Structure formats: C-alpha cells, structure tokens
Amino acid sequence: QSVLTQPPSASATPGQRVTISCSGSRSNIGTNTANWYQQLPGSAPKLLIYNFNQRPSGVPDRFSGSKSGTSASLAISGLQSEDEAEYYCAAWDDSLNGPVFGGGTKLTVL
C-alpha cells in the first residue's frame, strides 16, 4: 500500500489532454514539494516535474504539474503515442523523513 494514492490506470486518444492525480496528506504533499516521473518499460524513471510545476531542461511543455491542498496533479496535453508509460508521483514525507512514492499510473494511448 503506497503512501501516495494514484489511479492505477488512465487512457486517452492522441491529441487529447489527460490528468493524473496523486493524493497525499499533510505530512507529505501538504507541506513539502512533489515531483513526477515517467517510466518506460525496462527503463529507469525519468524526472518530468519537480517542485510541483517545474520542468527540467528537455521536458516538453506538454507536461505540467499543479498542487491543491494535499494533492498533486500531472497534466499531459497533446497526447502522443510515446507518452504511453507508467507515471509516478513522489513527495518528501516528514513522518518518514524521506521520500514516498505513489503506486504508479499506467497511461495507455488509445
């Protein structure tokens, strides 16, 4: 059971916009920063979003993040077939004194 809660799956057609949620608590997302990762099969995760809405260099602006209370969200606009992957959220947790992850959301591009 992951500390951060994500929907197990999401799907959309090419060109559409999809949003993935990540629900936490006051000890993690409510107080600290969160980030998002994309993991393609057989590969290490890749940092997509940090500090809720910042993109590392090289990440397309189709990817955006936001926070509301104790939840974070990842939005992908102009969906492309190569966006089909597993997406994970993560946040620092004051109770653990370390980072916690969501269980992952498998995004299917129909």
The binder of other proteins chosen from 46, 53, 66, 70 (CB under 8 A): 46
* Contact stretch for other proteins (CB under 8 A) within 11-19, 62-70, 73-81, 96-104: 96-104
CB nearer to other proteins: give 76 or 90: 90
Helix (H, G, I), strand (E, B) or coil at 5: strand
The binder of other proteins chosen from 16, 51, 80, 108 (CB under 8 A): 51
Q: Give 71's strand partners.
A: 23, 68
Q: CB 89 → other proteins: shortest distance, Å? A: 10
Count of alpha carbons within 13 angstroms of residue 103, beta-carbon side: 9
Count of alpha carbons within 13 angstroms of residue 84, beta-carbon side: 10
